[in-house]
Amino acid sequence: MDLFAKTEKQHNYDVAREKNIYPYFHALTSGQDTVVQMEGHRTIMIGSNNYLGLTSHPEVIAAGVEGLQKYGSGCSGSRFLNGTLDIHKALERELAEFLHKEAVMTFSTGFQSNLGIISGIVGMSDTVICDKENHASIYDGCRLSFGKMLRYNHNDMADLERQLASVPEERGILIVTDGVFSMSGEICNLPEIVRLARKYGARVMVDDAHGLGVLGAHGRGTAEYYGLENEVDIYMGTFSKSLASLGGYMASTRRVIDYIMHTSRPYIFSASITPASVQCARKALEILIREPERVKALRDIGDYMRAKLDEAHIKYIPATTPIVSIYTYEDEKAFTACKLLLERGVYVNPVVSPATPVGKALIRTSYSATHKREEIDEAVEKIREVWNILGIE
């Protein structure tokens, strides 16, 4: 059979295009902000992970320009060899201090971070146990490792304990969970995960891509939110969300970091983060530390959105984060809602099966600390109008 035969079959994306409701790859003609230019039109952006509103901050932009001018456009090699700059090490020191961890190592992307961490630490004699709603990069990291992967039902601690109890004592165990689940905005049950990890001798890794800058009084993430900063063995996170740049990181003990730096193939064989990206992330971290009120502003705007949806009798997944996922139930209605909202100047993201169970399709909305309430009011009014057209209850 021809390898390319599969490409000639009709797929869901073909059907969406035929119905003129294809929702992907819309082009911005401006930078990320609460209001953007998308394909030539003013659009309220409630589908971005620019949580602290720093992608357009003049200090962040200036820092990136400075990095580009001093160090050039790229590093031309991996961190393992010629691609380490003094600013890479500075970013790692600053982030380790902020997160109250001994050491940090950085990766070229957030996705690559999970690939590199999990495959670097989980070996043939180990087991990794995952929440079923973990990010795709976690699952790909598990596949890249030589360990055995088990899954537990989403935030189901009884099921997690059942899986832990099934692992032979001689095997090492890593429990991996999203801190904030990216599709629903729900927060993991970290206190119970930590308790079970202690009981069964497991280690805990939290993917805090959507937790850094979002949770905790200082924005340190899920562990700070729960008061468990000394109980998480590995933090993973990204620079592409709250820190307004590109790249990812791992925070842990010096010994664990040193081990993964010498065993992680995605780390060893990838080019290092570009100088401009490093300097943007450093400046964004500096602003987060200097202005922790941004974290509260972000929480407040998420709460305001939920209150407005309640007033409009629009159903969403209950959460306390800046991710607010609204039910359309049917996949086609999710695609159609995205199209109609974009025509009315509001950008949102569709979430359909298999990312959600059949009949539980969503539009995923997310917010920035810099959103204005009048922008939220306008967006909710447009959502209410579209929901009435589509007959969504």
User: What are the catalytic residues?
Assistant: 182, 210, 241
CA gap 336, 21 in Å, rounded: 5
Residue 371 structure tokens = 């959103």
Strands of the 35-38 sheet, one edge to the other: 35-38, 41-45, 346-347
CA gap 27, 390 in Å, rounded: 26
Q: Among all chains, which residue has been given the structure tokens 């790692």? A: 92
- Residue pair 303/369 in contact by the 8 Å Cβ criterion: no
- 332-365: string of b/e by CB count within 10 Å (b at 16+)? bbbbbbbbbbbebebbbbbbbeeebeeebbbbbb
Residue 366 structure tokens = 């997310």
Degrees, nearest 5: CA angle 147-151-155: 135
CA gap 35, 56 in Å, rounded: 11
CA distances (Å), 61 to each of 47, 49, 246, in order?
22, 18, 13
| Local structure of residue 266 (DSSP, 8 states) | H
Q: Smallest Cα–Cα separation from 230: which of 99, 372, 362?
A: 99
Sequence length of the chain is 393
Q: Smallest Cα–Cα separation from 351: which of 141, 133, 153, 50?
A: 133
